[in-house]
């Protein structure tokens, strides 16, 4: 098949999922064309089946806001026509689904029928998408998609709740990881670098937005390190960084925390971690937690959104109510208190991650593509 994938190229989960999906499809012999405004960060892989088309937005002075959606629609028309694509798969509803709809209509006027599949990722439905200014467009674009998937049952339910006019059947295809990328020998970091005296190593990976409640990560860590010698690694960057730095000083924990910034291959750092902290207000899925489990790192998380579909309480880690940092710290100590318990949780975490191996999930997308094409 010749598949066009539209995604955000940044470190966000939707871009990561889209890129890894495209890489896996290319490895299976499909021709995959990425269409985005810059090279996706995880597109660090060479294959004769992978192509990248940049959406170049002009900076004409009349525009205070560049009309990205229109440029994207035009680019889609161009790529579909000249690369003879079979279908488009757009990740994140805003504005990718409506741009795909527009491209589809333009192409239809030229006698070309291109189906498009929309994958909903989370904040496009639960945060940004909820904004009434987006509602009619999102509802319309979802209903007009040839197929719609969501990354969890929870997100599917949220979509119907937040967009009552959505009538489309939504198919849940969970996120995945490529377990082959998590081979222990691939570790390029050593634990001694960050925990020189054998301390337990906690880790948090996110884009440091408000929804991640990174302050809670610091508060949990502060409570844990008072009971068990520990260090904390922060991976990622984002708007909440100044608030985090302030809190770290207030709690006097800075000497035990290392910020590594944005990292393209988080598995290299996850490989040396003992415990992952995910304190989000909501997560449609929590790909970061799944990546941790694939690296045999148990997860202390909140129980909101789709997280319970990923982290199994008392098995791959523990879940607590949003903001209950005392409970999270208690659970963290329970996992970290001795090697036997920690090793059991590490084994369980990996076992849970195996359920989401790409080998199991990729065929679901391929089946969906075939189904959509059969109705073309």
| Least distance (Å) between residue 122 CB and ligand GMT | 3
Q: Tell me: does residue 98 bind ligand GMT (CB under 6 A).
A: no
Range in contact with ligand GMT (rule: CB under 6 A) among 81-89, 284-292, 333-341, 365-373:
284-292
What is the residue whose two structure tokens read 């910034």? 261
Q: How far apart are CA 33 and CA 62, in angstroms?
A: 32
Q: Classify strands 50-54 and 170-172 as parallel, antiparallel or unpaired.
A: unpaired
Q: Tell me: does residue 284 bind ligand GMT (CB under 6 A).
A: yes
Element (H, E) at 4: strand 2-6
Using the rule CB under 6 A, which residue among 4, 9, 12, 317 binds ligand GMT?
12
Q: Tell me: does residue 94 bind ligand GMT (CB under 6 A).
A: no
Range in contact with ligand GMT (rule: CB under 6 A) among 73-81, 216-224, 260-268, 276-284:
276-284
- The encoded tokens of residue 341 equal 């318990």
Q: Tell me: does residue 17 bind ligand GMT (CB under 6 A).
A: yes
58: DSSP letter? P
Using the rule CB under 6 A, which residue among 276, 285, 318, 365 binds ligand GMT?
285
Using the rule CB under 6 A, which residue among 274, 283, 291, 309 binds ligand GMT?
283
| Least distance (Å) between residue 294 CB and ligand GMT | 13
Range in contact with ligand GMT (rule: CB under 6 A) among 9-17, 48-56, 141-149, 253-261:
9-17
Q: Tell me: does residue 331 bind ligand GMT (CB under 6 A).
A: no
Quickly count: other Cβ atoms within 10 Å of residue 185's Cβ.
5
Element (H, E) at 52: strand 50-54
User: Could you give the C-alpha distances from 368 to 87, 100, 173, 195, in angstroms and in order?
Assistant: 11, 18, 10, 46
Q: How far apart are CA 310 and CA 326, in angstroms?
A: 22
Characterise 30 by phi-psi region: left (phi > 0), alpha (psi -120 to 50), beta (else). Answer: beta
Using the rule CB under 6 A, which residue among 24, 50, 77, 151 binds ligand GMT?
151
Q: How far apart are CA 230 and CA 243, in angstroms?
A: 22
- The encoded tokens of residue 187 equal 């570790």
Cβ atoms 215, 251 nearer than 8 A? no
Range in contact with ligand GMT (rule: CB under 6 A) among 206-214, 247-255, 331-339, 355-363:
206-214
State which residue, 36 or 284, has the beta carbon closest to ligand GMT: 284
Q: Tell me: does residue 211 bind ligand GMT (CB under 6 A).
A: yes
Q: Tell me: does residue 171 bind ligand GMT (CB under 6 A).
A: no
Q: Tell me: does residue 207 bind ligand GMT (CB under 6 A).
A: yes
Q: Tell me: does residue 287 bind ligand GMT (CB under 6 A).
A: yes
Q: How far apart are CA 182 and CA 350, in angstroms?
A: 10
Which stretches of the chain bind ligand GMT, using CB under 6 A?
Answer: 12-15, 17, 92, 121-123, 126, 151, 175, 207, 209, 211, 282-287
């Amino acid at each position: 098949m010749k598949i066009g994938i539209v995604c955000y190229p940044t470190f966000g989960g939707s871009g990561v999922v889209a890129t890894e999906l495209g890489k896996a499809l290319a490895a299976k012999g499909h021709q995959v064309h990425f269409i985005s405004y810059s090279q996706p960060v995880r597109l660090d892989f060479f294959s004769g089946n992978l192509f990248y088309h940049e959406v170049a937005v002009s900076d004409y002075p009349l525009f205070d806001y560049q009309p990205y959606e229109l440029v994207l629609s035009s680019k889609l028309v161009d790529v579909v026509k000249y690369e003879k694509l079979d279908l488009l798969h757009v990740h994140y509803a805003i504005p990718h689904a409506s741009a795909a709809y527009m491209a589809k209509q333009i192409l239809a006027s030229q006698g070309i029928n291109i189906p498009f599949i929309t994958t909903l990722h989370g904040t496009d439905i639960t945060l940004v998408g909820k904004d009434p200014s987006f509602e009619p467009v999102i509802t319309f674009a979802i209903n007009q998609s040839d197929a719609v998937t969501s990354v969890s049952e929870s997100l599917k339910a949220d979509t119907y709740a937040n967009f009552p006019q959505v009538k489309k059947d939504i198919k849940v295809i969970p996120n995945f990881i490529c377990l082959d990328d998590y081979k222990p020998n691939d570790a390029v970091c050593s634990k001694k670098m960050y925990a020189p005296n054998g301390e337990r190593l906690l880790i948090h990976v996110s884009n440091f937005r408000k929804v991640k409640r990174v302050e809670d990560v610091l508060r949990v860590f502060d409570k844990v390190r008072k009971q068990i010698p520990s260090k904390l690694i922060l991976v990622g960057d984002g708007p909440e960084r100044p608030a985090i730095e302030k809190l770290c000083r207030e709690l006097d924990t800075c000497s035990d925390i290392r910020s590594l910034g944005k990292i393209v291959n988080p598995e290299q750092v996850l490989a040396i971690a003992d415990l992952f902290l995910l304190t989000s207000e909501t997560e449609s899925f929590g790909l970061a937690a799944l990546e941790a489990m694939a690296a045999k790192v148990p997860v202390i998380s909140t129980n909101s959104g789709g997280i319970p579909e990923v982290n199994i309480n008392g098995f791959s880690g523990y879940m607590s109510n949003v903001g209950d940092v005392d409970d999270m710290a208690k659970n963290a100590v329970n996992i970290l208190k001795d090697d036997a318990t920690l090793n059991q949780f590490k084994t369980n975490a990996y076992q849970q991650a195996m359920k989401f191996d790409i080998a199991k999930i990729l065929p679901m997308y391929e089946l969906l593509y075939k189904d959509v094409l059969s109705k073309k």
